[in-house]
Structure 1
Amino acid sequence: MNLPQTYKNLKTTFCIVLVLLAFSCRSAKSVIASGEASNKLSAKQVIKQHQKNDANFKTMLAKVRIDLIKGEKEQGLTFNFRMEKNKVIWLSAPFGIARMMLTPDKVRFYNKQDNQYFDGDYKLLIDFVGVDLDFLKVQNILLGQAIYNLKDEPYRVEINENSYALQPKDQNALLELFYLINPSHFKMDSLQLFQQLKRRMLQIDYSSYQEVKNQVLPQNIRIIAVEDSDEVAITIEFKSVSLNEDVRFPFKIPTGYKEIVIK
């Protein structure tokens, strides 16, 4: 699919959004994944442990280092990140040059360099990644959790390189889905989505986790998004995170900016 340049620029931006969350803090410590996957655990038992270990917090502040590679071009920047769980995800570039805010019903951002803004819904994200995304699915990706409700359909489990490999018993021919669950803390090692007919692939790998206030949370993430021959790779390092502090989410589209309209 040949997308207009505006679409491609927005797609790169939203690829970054999909991975802009992981947790650390000054007192954080790395989680050593020393557990061994057991063939005695059923899919239901793995799912139960995974859901039990969902992060429990109200708010988060962080600085997130992101490096993006597209073709021969590589860019890196540190962002300010704020979140109120289940309500707001907020991201700001240095000096407020660009700012983005996600809420359950809105996707909004503006860019001072281009004097442009977008104010719309999640259809934009859905069109880009080919997955039925909403706020909670995005949040789950950022927290190292499964994006779909694992109780909605039966799953089967196998052991794959010391991870629990979960997949639906009846894979959708249009969208193949795989989860790799860590046997130590039962967070995701990897999320893999394939759309063969549309030549799309999304893979998110969680290479390390750390413990923050008794919560096991992602520390380093790598995302690869492929559409036809267009590939974007992003690596993320998360620093200076604090949980459950008072936070603000300033967001006001400057006057005179041109609206990005997706038809």
Structure 2
Amino acid sequence: MKQIFIILSIAFFAVSCKSSKKNTPAPENQTENTAGTIIVEPKAENTSKKANKKAITEMATDHYALFNDFNTLSITADVDYKDKNMDQSPTADIKIEKGKQILISVKALFGVTVAKVYLTPERASYYEITGSHYDGDYKFIKDFLGTEVTYENVENLLLGKAFYDLNTNEYQKIKNNELELKLNQFLMRLVLGSKNQVASTEVTEDKSADKLVIQYPSYQSSDNIYLPKEIKIHAMRKDDVQIRIDYKKVSVNQSVDFKYKIPSGSKAIKI
């Protein structure tokens, strides 16, 4: 379950800077779609910064207008997780207090909790019943990836919002519905749908062929809250990881218990 914690706590940014040297970067202006087919992508349009900013501001307005405010969310989800060593289908209870805390309980057969992830703006923590845990801050993510990832980023991903704010980051519009953002050694490509909802986010790392693709195939409206219905994550690296999260039930603004305590005797690990 350590992989699940890492992927969730860094908002599925599992594109490692420590990838194998045998990996080779994709040819210039090419990327790989989710079906594995190489397609040629056009270079950025030659538009002025002012026109680019105006276009992105309009897209941002439509994007954020989709999401109504809330205090708490409680989500029951089915999860399919696959890597080279595991093929599991647990369930997950995802609880969110907006801007304050996220608690994810991963459950195996018969509803037995096998791991918990707890995130706040200052704290990233998890434990699993096998007896290990991590409890610290987000600095390990920055050290690992070389770019900043915050609690807000993780919350945005679970809610279906743009991972990095559209209004405060220097996105470049490359097509009518596609934006790019350079983040140190990472390039993030954001594809928006017909309502300017996030259709997919793709992250590549300059010095390797590692890639992360996050897709939102469908959305739903529950109690007047716009949320993803399904999230697909594919981390294409030395250890290929695929995760599918299906939101089955959503409760809005109900009383939510965020009880989290690392079991005594659990062994701290370094990530």
Q: Sort the Cα spacing of 1:65 and 1:128 in 2 relative to 1 into closer, same or farther, 3 A.
A: farther
Distance 1:179 1:205 in 2: 10
Give the aligned length.
224
Deviations along 1:35-80, one digit per CA (max 9) or x if unpaired, are: xxxxxx9332112211222342110112111101113741111122
Distance 1:206 1:250 in 2: 29
Which amino acid is 1:98 matched to? A
For residue 240 of structure 2, give the secondary structure of its aligned residue in structure 1.
strand
2:30 maps to what in 1? none
Q: How do 1:237-252 residues align onto structure 2 when only pairs under 5 Å count?
A: 237-252=246-261
Distance 1:141 1:54 in 2: 13
TM-score (norm 1): 0.77
TM-score (norm 2): 0.75
Q: Sort the Cα spacing of 1:125 and 1:226 in 2 relative to 1 into closer, same or farther, 3 A.
A: farther
Instruction: Point out which structure has higher relative CO (alpha carbons under 8 A, 6+ apart).
Output: 1
**Does the aligned pair in 2 maintain the 1:104–1:134 contact within 8 Å?**
yes
**Does the aligned pair in 2 maintain the 1:69–1:233 contact within 8 Å?**
yes
2:269 maps to what in 1? 260
**Does the aligned pair in 1 maintain the 2:103–2:118 contact within 8 Å?**
yes
1:23 maps to what in 2? none
Deviations along 1:61-104, one digit per CA (max 9) or x if unpaired, are: 12111101113741111122211011111011333332121000
Which amino acid is 2:137 matched to? D
Q: Sort the Cα spacing of 1:16 and 1:82 in 2 relative to 1 into closer, same or farther, 3 A.
A: same
1:70 maps to what in 2? 83
Unaligned residue ranges in structure 2 (runs of 5+): 13-53
Matched, 1:225 2:235: yes
Which range moved further: 76-85 or 63-72?
Answer: 63-72
Distance 1:201 1:235 in 2: 17
Q: Sort the Cα spacing of 1:196 and 1:208 in 2 relative to 1 into closer, same or farther, 3 A.
A: same
Matched, 1:15 2:7: yes
Matched, 1:110 2:120: no
Q: Sort the Cα spacing of 1:173 and 1:134 in 2 relative to 1 into closer, same or farther, 3 A.
A: closer
Calculate the aligned-residue CA RMSD, in Å.
Answer: 2.3
Q: How do 1:3-152 residues align onto structure 2 when only pairs under 5 Å count?
A: 10-16=2-8, 18=11, 42-71=55-84, 73-94=86-107, 95-113=112-130, 115-127=131-143, 131-151=147-167, 152=169
2:185 maps to what in 1? 174
| Deviation at residue 172 of structure 1 after TM alignment | 5.6
**Does the aligned pair in 2 maintain the 1:43–1:157 contact within 8 Å?**
no
Which amino acid is 1:80 matched to? D
Unaligned residue ranges in structure 1 (runs of 5+): 1-8, 20-40
Which amino acid is 1:15 matched to? I
Deviations along 1:121-169, one digit per CA (max 9) or x if unpaired, are: 113334555642110011111111112222232532513xxxx11224x
